[in-house]
Structure 1
Amino acid sequence: MRVKKQKRHRRAVRFYTACFGFREPFKILCDGTFVHHLLANRITPADTALANTLGATVKIFTTRCVLAELRSLGDAYSDSLNAARNLITARCDHEKRKSAEACITEVIGENNSEHFFVATQDAELRKKFQEIPGVPVIYGLRNALFLERPSTFQHEFAKTVEEERSHMTDLEYKMLKVKKRKVATDEARDFPDANEDHEDRILEAQDLKRNIKRNRMDTKDKAQFKRKKAKGPNPLSCKKKKAQGNTDAASAKERSVDDSARNRSRKRKRSRKSKNTTEPIVG
């Protein structure tokens, strides 16, 4: 049960932070009934108990009208008065004392611009704040604290605000229209011949297209690639053909030349002796 309660509280806190801009540390505005309930049920320290409920750090506030009301209740609420004096005093700007309900209602206002969590035991005040967008309410039950779920009115208000953010307001639309008109006049003033230049460019482009078409009509279609034809052998690299008879005569002639060369090599060279040579004397 305790885990479910914590999940419910965290879901409600995420709703208020996402849709209404609540940020840590959360500010809690207490009235006299809530302070008296904390002391009667010994829920102390109060800041720790409230921080555990919301899952974030907190600052506790009260007003001068709440302190004056506790003072008027007598000695039975003296402990509650002393505890409330230790809290931060929120500015209420009331010269004459008002009831705690009226004072807190005026501090919250129509849209809770200060992003207060209201802590009270007053059932009528809790019901009233459910009809004001962006006002989370905390109350005590015995020795436990609870954060009320966002009402259907608060959910619908957050949905409508989100839809309005996605669309332009009438003022924004008028401002955008005026800005566009101003930009158009400035461009016309800076570039008076812009339209004429644009038309000239269009005409030049059309003439260029016509000339290209005419050139294509005049020229014949040519093959982009020529096929290579098979060519004969190079005549310079080929030997000339010789007749059969001529070859036989040439071979016979070569044979006779070889034989004569052999005969010449076989002839013996004779050495001639000189006539003046004398025989040796034997002695």
Structure 2
Amino acid sequence: MRQKRAKAYRKLMSLYSMSFGFRQPYQVLVDSEMCKAAINQKLDFAKQLSVVLQGDVKPMITQCCIHELYLQGKEHQPATDLAKTFERRKCNHREPIPGDDCLLDVVVVNETNKHRYVVATQSTALRSKLRETPAVPVVHINRSVTILEPPSEATLKSKELMEDEALRPSASETSRLAPKTVPEEPPKTKKRTGPKGPNPLSVKKKKPKESTPAKKHVDNTARVGEKRKHEESEGASAPVDLKMEAEASGHKRKRRRKGKSSEVTEAKT
């Protein structure tokens, strides 16, 4: 078997084992047509099954399927001998029925593969019916190659449902959890947009203003009046004194004229 196909089969069987509980050795139900195909292709059927399913296998056959081989005569005696090496599976049918109906009755129980069987069959009608049931691996032979069919849509849907249920809490867990009251959040206020003020930590504190003493109102009018009186008294006493001095000296003091003094100074220069 090629490495790519073996990897795909290993991945597929891990899906069945992880999601649906398949365990080794895998129980493989074989029909009469599959025994004939294995003899015609000269295959080591048990070995091929273990290679395809990537594990130990337990081939099984029902009483109805082996009865079909008995009815076909000595021509298919090698297929009958191969079927005798498989484990017998009781189908609880008092009278033999067709192999397809027998396998469908054994595998599908309440629309599920309760006993986790792998079905090896060459019947296309049986394979189409088994695809409607989830978690039924189907094996067939195509030109001397044993093939494991990919999972059906029913299998993939049931896998998704199981995963969803696993994530949800069970009824006992939900009963234990008391409903918690969520506190109402206050309405969110819109942030102010615009220029921001300075950082209050970087601003210096203002110093308190010192209380200045009130200035005394000084009445300047009294001082101005006193000054004027003083000047007038000085001005009045000065000419009297000058006159007395002039009379005592015996000559009068001449006045200089401003015009003549300026002419004299110009002539000198």
Please, what TM-score do these two structures have when normalized by structure 1? 0.58
What's 2:186 paired with?
A: none
- Give the Cα separation in 2 of the matches to 1:167 and 1:99: 44
Look up the match of 1:264: none
Q: Cα distance 1:124–1:56, how it changes in 2: closer, same or farther (>3 A)?
A: same
> How many percent of aligned residue pairs carry the same amino acid?
27
Per the alignment, in what secondary structure is the counterpart of residue 62 of structure 1?
Answer: strand
C-alpha distance in 1, partners of 2:115/2:90? 11
Distance 1:126 1:54 in 2: 17
The CA distance in 1 between the partners of 2:75 and 2:133, in whole Å, is 33
CA distance in 1, matches of 2:166, 2:140: 33
Alignment: residue pair count: 176
* Separation in 2, partners of 1:113, 1:151: 17
| Superposition map of 1:26-105 within 5 A | 26-44=26-44, 46-105=45-104
Does residue 20 (structure 1) correspond to residue 37 (structure 2)? The answer is no
Query: Structure 1 pair 134/67, CA: closer, same or farther in 2 (3 Å)?
Result: same
Deviations along 1:82-111, one digit per CA (max 9) or x if unpaired, are 211111011211111111101100111221
Counterparts in 2 of 1:1-283, with a 5 A limit?
2-44=2-44, 46-109=45-108, 110-168=111-169, 172=171, 177=175
Deviation of 1:153 (Å)? 2.2
Give me the whole-angstrom Cα distance separating, in 2, the residues matched to 1:86 and 1:141.
Answer: 23
Change (3 A) 1:168 1:96: farther
Question: Quick check: which one's helix share is greater?
Answer: 1
- Give the distance between the partners of 2:50 and 2:16, measured in 1 at CA: 16
Deviation at 1:22?
Answer: 0.4
Distance 1:22 1:78 in 2: 33
| Cα distance in 2, alignment partners of residues 74 and 168 from structure 1 | 59
Gaps of 5+ in 2: 179-269
Task: Look up the SS of the partner of 2:166 in the other structure.
Answer: helix
Query: Which moves more between the two structures, 156-165 or 54-63?
Result: 156-165
> CA deviation digits over 1:16-42, x for unaligned, max 9?
111111011111110001111111101
SS at 2:139's partner residue?
A: strand
Cα shift at 1:118:
0.2
Larger radius of gyration: 2
* Matched AA of 2:126: L
TM-score by length of 2: 0.61
Shift of residue 166 of structure 1?
2.8
Residue aligned with 2:113, SS: coil
Aligned-partner Cα distance in 1 for 2:153–2:85: 36
Paired residue secondary structure (1:27): strand
- 1:31 aligned partner, one-letter code: D
C-alpha change, 1:180 and 1:161, in structure 2 (3 Å) is closer
Runs of 4 or more, structure 1, over 6 Å off, are none
1:80 to partner: Cα distance? 1.0
Query: Is the partner of 1:49 in helix, strand or coil?
Result: helix
The answer for the alignment partner of 2:238 in structure 1 is: none
Task: Quote the Cα distance in structure 1 between the aligned partners of 2:135 and 2:68.
Answer: 26
Alpha-carbon distance in 2 for matches of 1:137, 1:56:
15
| Cross-structure match for 1:240 | none
Deviation at residue 176 of structure 1 after TM alignment: 6.5
Partner of 1:188: none
Cα distance between partner residues in 2 of 1:126 and 1:35? 16
Q: Deviations over 1:220-251 (max 9, x none)?
A: xxxxxxxxxxxxxxxxxxxxxxxxxxxxxxxx
